[in-house]
């Protein structure tokens, strides 16, 4: 990987490497992918890399060898290599929260050691994993029964943000591996309809709630957990001497770092699965936060997923930068974002099971790199994290792809596909993948006006039917959507986000930007709850909206 540079104190845009990229971008801007492919018949085989079972084709990105060389020089000048080593060794690289960032420890194999403040965190991780596995097996086998002795058939996971998006994404992604005799639901929104719909038709006696919250202070999660408790106790409490506590003990478990908060809520800490402040919420799906995933797919498949994460971690740590998937993805993202002016990245999985993957990535990427000051608090003078969004192919093709093909904006795309189908409908898998390949090709090469004319188009329609092309995309292919492949895929994006954060010199692991809204919501909630309609002291717009709401909300 990159060697540490000497320019680490110079601000990013002042570096010669940045200036060189800017100059290169000006001169390179008009180069069409058609020319790049014509000049190098091997391009499609050359601009690819492999790691942890994933194949990354970045040949349809608007880069040439010089672009890549300059990007690697930029990464070296930012000491990506050194910062990576710092993360893996447990240094407190989350500076604004003074924390280590050790999601990589969550997937280190048993027996490896990683000491932080004199404690072997890998041993701690495996202790929790073993408890999770034992608990999951008891639920899956029916050995753990509810308060009335019935087998647990429904698992409802309550959490939000990193305590929801990972579990729900992984559950959907790995449905093919899940226990079909069980029902899983996920509740996140404080909108009461989310909870009501999730439990509609469920028997409380057969339902287990997993309350997931790193802090155990999150308003939405606690409100939903209290609703769940009421719903459960309405029908189960008082059936024996243990009363409420007995029912809660059988139907509620918690995943958190906050033992006191869990106890205060009334969940026995025996039924708590812990993790640590060095696991960021959006990096926690492979911690105990993944308990619902483990119950759904079983401990062995969960461990397979961890092995996929770990394989990508090792690849990221050890592979040379030129063949390092997360580094390449990060650098290409920086090129598109900071030098070609793209504001967004479309994530387009050609796998229905990955339908929640774009939503998951939104938190991972945007909560991590949606920052505008450097680590030492200076305002940046370059763009940082782009907007991530997406939908599974082929649905998106019949919706927003028009803009990607012919709109005025540059929208780099990440296509994700799998060679082996999980569905028995193999011909449909060929159709699915044909669409993936076709989209990348159409975006890159387009259709010239001459080609449109020679197809017999009326002259008045030539401009409308012409595709400029030169629209960049990467394609990530794996053999099959297995737990291992999912782990590798998530770790690929995690590390790519990290590398970008290092280069942008921002803290990818804090999220102060969500705090203000939380504080204002608390104040406003107490105003809405007050019986005497207190005088409002917001701006005139917010005051008027609250007044209208109060008038119209009903009894
Ligand atoms: O509001 C942002 C956030 O802090 C996320 O970073 C986090 O994933 C989410 O809230 C949920 O937090 P918790 O797991 O503490 O309930």
Tokens at 341, concatenated:
């002016």
What is the widest separation between alpha-carbon atoms in the chain? 85
Nearest residue (CA) to ligand 1, atom 3: 161
**pLDDT attached to residue 238:** 65
Atom of ligand 1 nearest to the CA of 212: 14
Q: Residue 17: CB within 6 Å of ligand 1?
A: no
List, in sequence order, the alpha helices (H) in 142-281.
Answer: 165-173, 192-199, 219-236, 243-251, 259-265
Residue among 101, 160, 223, 364 whose CB has most ligand 1 atoms within 8 A, to mutate: 160
d(CA 4, CA 516): 37
Nearest residue (CA) to ligand 1, atom 1: 514
**pLDDT attached to residue 306:** 98
Nearest CA among 112, 111, 115, 87 for reference residue 101: 87
Q: Residue 282: CB within 6 Å of ligand 1?
A: yes
**pLDDT attached to residue 86:** 97
Q: Residue 77: CB within 6 Å of ligand 1?
A: no
| CA 214 to centroid of ligand 1, rounded, Å | 7
Q: Residue 215: CB within 6 Å of ligand 1?
A: yes
Residue among 157, 167, 215 whose CB has most ligand 1 atoms within 8 A, to mutate: 215
Q: Residue 90: CB within 6 Å of ligand 1?
A: no
Residue 51, H or E segment: strand 48-51
**pLDDT attached to residue 6:** 42
| CA 159 to centroid of ligand 1, rounded, Å | 8
| CA 281 to centroid of ligand 1, rounded, Å | 6
According to DSSP, the residues that pair with 119 across neighbouring strands are 116
List, in sequence order, the alpha helices (H) in 393-513.
Answer: 401-406, 426-445, 449-454, 459-465, 483-504
- Tell me if 390 sits within 8 A of 346, measured CB to CB: yes
Q: Residue 160: CB within 6 Å of ligand 1?
A: yes
- Write out the chain's pLDDT in tens, 555 residues: 444 444 445 789 999 999 999 999 999 988 999 999 999 999 999 999 999 999 999 999 999 999 999 999 999 999 999 999 999 999 999 999 999 999 999 999 999 999 988 999 999 999 999 999 999 999 999 999 999 999 999 999 999 999 999 999 999 999 999 999 999 999 999 999 999 999 999 999 999 999 999 999 999 999 999 999 999 999 887 655 556 788 999 999 999 999 999 999 999 999 999 999 999 999 999 999 999 999 999 999 999 999 999 999 999 999 999 999 999 999 999 999 999 999 999 999 999 999 999 999 999 999 999 999 999 999 999 999 999 999 999 999 999 999 999 999 999 999 999 999 999 999 999 999 999 999 999 999 999 999 999 999 999 999 999 999 999 999 999 999 999 999 999 999 999 999 999 999 999 999 999 999 989 999 999 999 988 888 899 999 999 999 999 999 987
| CA 216 to centroid of ligand 1, rounded, Å | 9
Say which DSSP state 336 is in: I
What's phi and psi for 373, nearest 5 deg? -125, 150
**pLDDT attached to residue 137:** 98
| CA 117 to centroid of ligand 1, rounded, Å | 25
d(CA 214, CA 216): 6
Atom of ligand 1 nearest to the CA of 289: 14
**pLDDT attached to residue 4:** 43
| CA 38 to centroid of ligand 1, rounded, Å | 49
| CA 161 to centroid of ligand 1, rounded, Å | 5
Q: What is the pTM of this model?
A: 0.96
Token pair 């290599």 is at which residue? 81
Nearest CA among 229, 255, 267, 226 for reference residue 163: 255
Atom of ligand 1 nearest to the CA of 162: 8
Tokens at 221, concatenated:
């999660």
Q: Residue 163: CB within 6 Å of ligand 1?
A: yes
Atom of ligand 1 nearest to the CA of 367: 6
**pLDDT attached to residue 533:** 80
Tokens at 157, concatenated:
């996971």
The per-residue b/e assignment along 304-337, b for 16 or more CB within 10 angstroms, e otherwise, is bbbbbbbbbbbbbbebebeebbbbbbbbbbbbbb
**pLDDT attached to residue 3:** 43
Atom of ligand 1 nearest to the CA of 511: 6
With both helix axes pointing from N to C terminus, report the angle between 299-318 and 80-88 in degrees, rounded to the nearest 10.
140
Q: Residue 394: CB within 6 Å of ligand 1?
A: no
Percentages (nearest 5) of helix, strand, coil residues in the chain? 55, 10, 35
Coil, strand or helix at 351 = coil
Q: Residue 218: CB within 6 Å of ligand 1?
A: yes
Q: Residue 326: CB within 6 Å of ligand 1?
A: no
Number of helical (H) and strand (E) elements in the chain, helices listed first: 23, 13
**Would you name the residues annotated as active-site residues?**
367, 398, 518
| CA 302 to centroid of ligand 1, rounded, Å | 23
């Amino acid at each position: 990987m990159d060697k540490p540079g000497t320019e680490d104190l110079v601000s990013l845009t002042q570096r010669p490497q940045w200036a060189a990229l800017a100059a290169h971008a000006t001169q390179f801007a008009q180069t069409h992918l058609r020319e790049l492919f014509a000049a190098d018949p091997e391009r499609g085989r050359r601009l690819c890399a492999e790691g942890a079972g994933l194949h990354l084709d970045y040949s349809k990105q608007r880069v040439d060898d010089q672009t890549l060389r300059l990007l690697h020089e930029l990464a070296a000048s930012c000491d990506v290599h050194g910062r990576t080593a710092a993360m893996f060794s447990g240094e407190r690289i989350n500076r604004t929260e003074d924390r280590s960032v050790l999601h990589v420890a969550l997937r280190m194999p048993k027996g490896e050691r990683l000491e932080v403040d004199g404690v072997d965190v890998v041993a701690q991780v495996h202790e929790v994993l073993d408890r999770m596995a034992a608990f999951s097996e008891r639920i899956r086998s029916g050995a753990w029964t509810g308060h009335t002795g019935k087998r647990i058939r429904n698992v409802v996971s309550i959490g939000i943000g990193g305590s929801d998006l990972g579990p729900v994404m992984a559950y959907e992604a790995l449905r093919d591996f899940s226990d079909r005799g069980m029902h899983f639901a996920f509740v996140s929104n404080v909108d009461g309809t989310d909870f009501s719909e999730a439990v509609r038709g469920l028997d409380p006696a057969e339902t287990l709630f997993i309350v997931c919250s790193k802090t155990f202070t999150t308003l939405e999660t606690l409100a939903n957990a209290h609703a769940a408790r009421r719903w459960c106790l309405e029908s189960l409490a008082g059936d024996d001497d243990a009363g409420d506590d007995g029912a809660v003990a059988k139907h509620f478990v918690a995943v958190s770092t906050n033992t006191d908060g869990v106890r205060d809520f009334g969940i026995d800490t025996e039924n708590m699965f812990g993790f640590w402040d060095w696991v960021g919420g959006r990096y926690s799906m492979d911690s105990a936060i993944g308990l619902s995933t483990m119950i759904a797919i079983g401990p062995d498949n969960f461990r397979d997923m961890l092995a996929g994460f770990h394989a990508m971690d090792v690849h990221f740590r050890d592979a040379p930068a030129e063949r390092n998937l997360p580094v390449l993805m990060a650098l290409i993202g920086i090129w598109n974002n900071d030098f070609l002016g793209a504001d967004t990245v479309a994530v387009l999985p050609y796998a229905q099971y990955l339908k929640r993957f774009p939503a998951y990535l939104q938190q991972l990427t945007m909560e991590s790199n949606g920052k505008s000051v450097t680590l030492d608090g200076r305002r940046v003078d370059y763009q940082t994290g782009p907007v991530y969004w997406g939908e599974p192919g082929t649905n998106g093709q019949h919706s927003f792809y028009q803009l990607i093909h012919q709109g005025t904006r540059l929208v780099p795309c990440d296509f994700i596909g799998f060679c082996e189908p999980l569905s028995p409908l193999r011909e449909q898998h060929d159709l699915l993948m044909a669409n993936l390949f076709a989209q990348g090709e159409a975006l890159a090469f387009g259709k010239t006006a001459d080609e449109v004319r020679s197809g017999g188009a009326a002259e008045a329609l030539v401009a409308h039917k012409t595709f400029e092309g030169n629209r960049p995309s990467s394609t990530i292919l794996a053999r099959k959507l297995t737990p291992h492949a999912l782990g590798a895929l998530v770790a690929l994006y995690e590390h790519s986000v990290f590398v970008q954060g290092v280069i942008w010199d921002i803290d990818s692991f804090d999220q102060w930007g969500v705090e203000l809204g939380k504080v204002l919501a608390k104040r406003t909630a107490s105003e809405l709850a007050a019986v005497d309609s207190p005088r409002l002291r917001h701006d005139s717009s917010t005051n008027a909206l609250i007044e209208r709401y109060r008038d119209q909300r009903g009894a």
